[in-house]
Amino acid sequence: MFKKLFGIKDTETKPTEEVVFAPLSGKVTELTEVPDPTFSQKMMGDGLAIIPTEGEVVSPVDGEIIQFFHTKHAIGIRSATGAEILIHVGLETVSMNGEGFEGHVSEGDKVKAGDRLISFDLNLINAKAASTITPIVITNGEVVENLDKKLTDNAIKGQTELFHLKVKS
């Protein structure tokens, strides 16, 4: 009765389109340029990669943290549209066992675009891992109808548009 009286709908409608902002500052490149076949051959999904110029990852969207690896090198976020975004800092960084990484969120946390997720030591990753290149991948591509990618040499975390995505309705 209250729902009818106050015009509240039974089903909350979620958006079908959204902008995904750059989670790191740096040079944006195609996923095919990532020197790791898991990413370059899009085995985990489509997306882009960023060669970071500083050691901070922010949320690219409003959403929820659905996975945060114990080594703090990778994080998964479900956006308002339902797209699941994996941010994987560097290549072969899992072997660092969390050294040089600091997490600022936990699984289940609700985040807004621009919220700080991870801090990391860029110099340490340069010294100990295969690469600092950071893939940003839509892991549930089957829900995506259109992914419009934006390349730039100078992305600013939390401000520069990385993708415009539309999910199937």
DSSP 140: T
88 is annotated as an active-site residue: yes
User: How far apart (Å, rounded) are the C-alpha atoms in residues 67 and 117?
Assistant: 12
Residue of 70, 73, 88, 104 marked catalytic: 88
Q: Which tokens belong to 162? A: 């990385």
Torsion angle of the four alpha carbons 37, 43, 48, 53, in this order, in degrees rounded to the nearest 10: -50
- The alpha-carbon radius of gyration of the chain (Å, integer) is 17
- Which amino acid is present at 10? D
Rounded CA-CA distance 50/136 in Å is: 8
Show which residues are catalytic: 88
